[in-house]
Structures are given as C-alpha cells and as structure tokens.
Amino acid sequence: MSRPIVATINQQALKNNLSIVRQMISSARIWAVVKANAYGHGIKRIWKSLCQADGFALLSIHEALLLRDSGWQKPILLLEGFFHPNDITILAQYNLTTVVHSQWQIQALAKAKLLAPLDIYLKMNCGMNRLGFQPDDIHSVWQQLKEIKNVGTLTLMAHFANAEYTTGVTKPMQKIYQVLRKLNCQMSLANSAAILWHPQTHCNWVRPGIILYGSCPKRDGNQSIMSNNGFEPVMTLNSEIIAIQEIAFGSTVGYNNSYRANCKQRIGIVACGYADGYPRHAPSGTPVKILEHITKTIGTVSMDMMAIDLTMCPQAYIGSKVELWGKNVKIDDVASASQTVGYELMCALSPRVPVQLK
C-alpha cells in the first residue's frame, strides 16, 4: 500500500481564479505565469485549466516546448529571455516571445539568420535591479531594436519589487511615465500584487502568477483580499495519522527536544515531513486540520514525519485525515508561521508526493 500523503490539484479552482483576474483587469490580456513547473503544480497537469489565458509566461525553453508539443498554439513568453545565441533559432521555430534585458542579446538578435522576426519584450529596470536596462537608456535601446530585421513587435516590460504596498509602485511608475514621453508603446507591468492593488498598472498585458494558484502575494496581513475576491486555493496537501502517543507531563517530542509537554498530552504522528516539501523550520503551533478541528504542530518537523496536538480532537484515530494546507489551512498561514512565503511551499512540493487531479 502507498504512503498516505497526497497533493490534490483543484482544476476548477484554477479556472475560477483565472476568471477572477479577467474580471479585474478590464481589457488587458493575460500572461498566465507557469514558471517553476507551474509553481509546483505541474505544467503538464494544469495548463488546460488555464487555456482561457491569452498566453503563458515561463522561464525555460524546455517548458515552452512541452506546451507547444501538448497543443498550445497561442503566445508563450520567456521571462528571462534566451541564454545563448543558438537558442534564437529555436525561439523562431516555435514562435516564442522573448524578453530582452541585456546588450549581448540585442547583438545576438542582429546576427541571427531567421525566416521570421521574433516578438520582443524590452525589460526596463525600475528599481528591482535584477534584469533590464536603465530608464534613461530605454529610448535608445528601443530604437536600436526597431532597426533589427529579426525583431517583430516591441512591448515595454517592467517588474515591481514592492507592489503589495500602497505606495509600492509610485516611484517605478514615475520612471515609466518619463520613458513614455518619448515612446507610444504596448506595456506589460502588473504582477499578481499590482493586479490586486494597483489597477493603473494593468495596461495591455498583465502577468498573474501566485494568485492563479490561490495564494496571496503579500506575506503578512491583507490576505483576506484573496477570499473576499473569490480566489480559491488550488493545491491541498493531505496525509493521515500513522501513530498516536500518550505522553506525560515534561516529556519531549522530536529531534533536539524542541517541544516539552506542560501536561499529559495525546499527540498524533503524521506521515509528512520536510522531504515531502513541508518546511522543516515550521515551529510548534503551525496550524493543521485533523477531522473537523484546527490544531497545531508540535516539535521539530522530521524528514518523513511530524507530530500534532490531539488534545482538542480526542476522537482522532490512526488513519484520520490531516490537512497540511488547502481549503481550511491556508498555505499562506503555514508560510507565515515558517517565516517564508506560499510561493516557496508550492515550489518545494517533493516529487515523491503523489499528485491527483480533482
């Protein structure tokens, strides 16, 4: 028999979340971001649930070709662009749109021998300081690209570092407006946070990522915006109680004796650990659901198991279902308790965890 842990992907929730984004953005078009194997959900499993998007955005050519081979014919955007000049012929062959963020990429485009031009997203550095050209250079780079026969349509692209905050896009947008004095162009600016909190950034194309999967882009507070707008969690991680222990006052639980009981206590051992993708640094008190009760983890998470408090659930038994995150235990709450973000938990789901579609 298989180990009882399983991740369930709710396809209808994906469709619902995409539909909500569509309602929020007016006439803008949608790049559904499916990088990192669709945030751990599996591109091959979920792309059809997002097929009402106008395009898919991702990182690797391998993932792009997987979509093309699966039948996706609409646009695909490579968010980090191409990594070697030889990649350009593959981009042209499969009609992929590429980000351009460096001068060497422009030179490679100029030298390439292509039968058809590539659509280009020119990346502007608005303060994130990862990729892109400085605002003062955008106009000259834009003109440079326009003169290259291998370049088709041009779109200006930027990424916000702090869009989850009220004033988080103010300075970046000032830089963008300065650039627009010299350019009349299509733009793609809004990530998930900007879609939720800054409608002035929606422009021509938006790039929702984490909100498609039902998690909030803001680490602390304001997560009610997700449920208030109807977003639903897509991934549920479930397991079962595989053992029950009755421990005495003063007994310790787990490695390093990180938890000590302050009374006689009944605890359950759950078949889930950090090798499954659950955060090892989740402290005692991280929420879990057992039967109809929200309870808490106790002690240090092990590679394959964790302990939970059964005090409030005396009817729990070996085989009782446990929700680690999902509809009742928000992945953002687990992430917050673990001093991380929901993105990391999704992406960290281990290959050894079976995945089923709902």
In the 8-state DSSP scheme, what is residue 342? H
Residue whose tokens read 């079976």: 354
**pLDDT attached to residue 60:** 93
Under CATH, what is the fold of the domain 11-221? TIM Barrel (3.20.20)
Exactly one of 35, 123, 218, 289 is catalytic; which is it?
A: 35
Domain with CATH 2.40.37.10 in the chain: 235-357
* CATH 3.40.190.10 is right for the domain spanning 235-357: no
Q: Are strands 97-100 and 118-124 parallel, antiparallel or unpaired?
A: parallel
Q: What is the spatial distance between Cα 87 and Cα 166, in angstroms, rounded to a whole number?
A: 40
Please name the amino acid found at residue 88. Answer: I
Catalytic member of 149, 182, 255, 321:
255
Known catalytic membership, residue 255: yes
Beta bridge partner(s), residue 205: 29, 188
The pLDDT value given to residue 226: 83
Q: H helices of the chain, where? A: 11-24, 35-39, 43-46, 61-70, 87-93, 103-111, 135-146, 170-180, 192-197, 224-228, 331-337, 342-347
Q: Which residues of the chain have pLDDT under 50?
A: none
Catalytic (active site) residue 213: no
Residue extent(s) of CATH 3.20.20.10 domains in the chain: 11-221
- Give CA–CA dist 301/310, Å, rounded: 16
Alpha-carbon distance of 3 to 278, in angstroms, equals 16
C-alpha to C-alpha distance for 253 and 285, rounded to whole angstroms: 13
Contact 45, 10 (CB under 8 A): no
CB 198 within 8 A of CB 169: yes
Q: What is the pLDDT of residues 120-160, one digit of tens each?
A: 999 999 988 999 999 999 999 999 999 999 999 999 999 99
The 3-class secondary structure across 127-169, one letter per residue, is: CCCCCCECHHHHHHHHHHHHCCCCEEEEEEEECCCCCCCCCCC
State the binding site: 130, 303
Q: Give dist(CA 76, CA 59) in Å, integer.
A: 10
At 81 the three-state DSSP class reads coil
Identity at 271, one-letter amino acid code: A
In whole angstroms, how far apart are CA 143 and each of 79, 106, 122, 148, 322? 22, 11, 11, 9, 58
DSSP 13-27: HHHHHHHHHHHHSTT
* pLDDT, position 227: 82
Residues at the annotated binding site for substrate?
Answer: 130, 303
Task: Return the residue matching tokens 């004095």.
Answer: 181
Q: How many CB atoms lie within 10 A of CB 94?
A: 14
Q: Choose among 83, 87, 94, 75: nearest CA to 153.
A: 75
Q: For residues 80 and 58, give the distance between their C-alpha atoms in angstroms, rounded to a whole number.
A: 8
Listed in sequence order, the residues at least 6 apart from 104 whose beta carbon sits closer than 8 Å to its beta carbon are none
